[in-house]
Amino acid sequence: MQKAERFTIRHTGTVRDPFGAYEYDILDGAVVIACYWHDYRGEDHGIRFADGSDEVLPGRRSDFVKGGGPKPLTLSAAAVKWLVERSSRWLNRKPCER
């Protein structure tokens, strides 16, 4: 788990199928504000905010999340900017549901 400015990303720890999606929580401070996922290749990815809204993200996983494997997970600078622009979606601080 690694901080990128005010946001933290962490693996949810859920067990996945061999070709299933990888799932992560994105936190603003100590509050889960979004659930981020990507397919096993990193080509398809999206985000579900705490308010229940979903967005498909442009680009690939590597454009949004850095690291993985032996390296700590971090959000890219573009991801942090993108999240800040959408921060009104979690101001009510509802927990993210799976």
**Parent domain of 7:** 2-90
Tens of pLDDT, residue by residue, the chain (98 residues): 544 368 999 988 788 788 888 899 999 888 888 998 888 777 788 898 888 888 878 777 888 888 888 888 899 998 888 888 887 766 655 555 54
98 located within any domain? no
Specify the pLDDT at position 15. 80
Residue with tokens 């601080």: 93
List % helix, strand, coil for the chain (3-state, nearest 5).
15, 40, 40
- Please tell me the total count of domains within the chain: 1
Q: Strand, coil or helix: what is 12? A: coil
95 located within any domain? no
Specify the pLDDT at position 16. 79
DSSP 15-60: ---TTSPEEEEEEETTEEEEEEEE-TTSSSEEEEETTS-EEEPSS-
- DSSP bridge partners of 4: 7
Specify the pLDDT at position 4. 39
